[in-house]
Amino acid sequence: MRCGVTLVETTKIIERVVFDCNIFLQAMANPAGPAGECFQQASNGVIRLFISSEILSEFTEVANRPVLQQKLSLTDERVNAFLQEILGISDFIPNVAPVYQHPDDPKDNIYIDLAIATSATVITTRDKDLLRLMNTNEPLGRDFVQQFPMISVLTPVQLLARISSV
Partner 1 sequence: MLPIKAHYDGQSIILDEPASLQVGQQLYVYVAGQGNSQKSSRETLNKILQPVRDAFTASGMTDDELAELLEHEKHAMRGDSRGNN
Distance CA 68, CA 85 (A): 20
Return the number of the residue (128 or 149) whose C-beta is nearest partner 1: 128
Q: How many CB atoms lie within 10 A of CB 21?
A: 23
Return the number of the residue (16 or 78) whose C-beta is nearest partner 1: 78
Distance CA 105, CA 92 (A): 24
Residue type at 153 in one-letter notation? V
Positions in the binding site for partner 1 (CB under 8 A): 2-13, 21-22, 25-26, 28-31, 33-35, 43-45, 58, 61-62, 65, 67-68, 71-74, 77-78, 81-82, 85, 105, 107, 126-128
Return the number of the residue (12 or 97) whose C-beta is nearest partner 1: 12
* Shortest Cβ 149–partner 1 spacing (Å): 26
CB 155 within 8 A of CB 131: yes
CB 114 within 8 A of CB 55: yes
* Shortest Cβ 146–partner 1 spacing (Å): 27
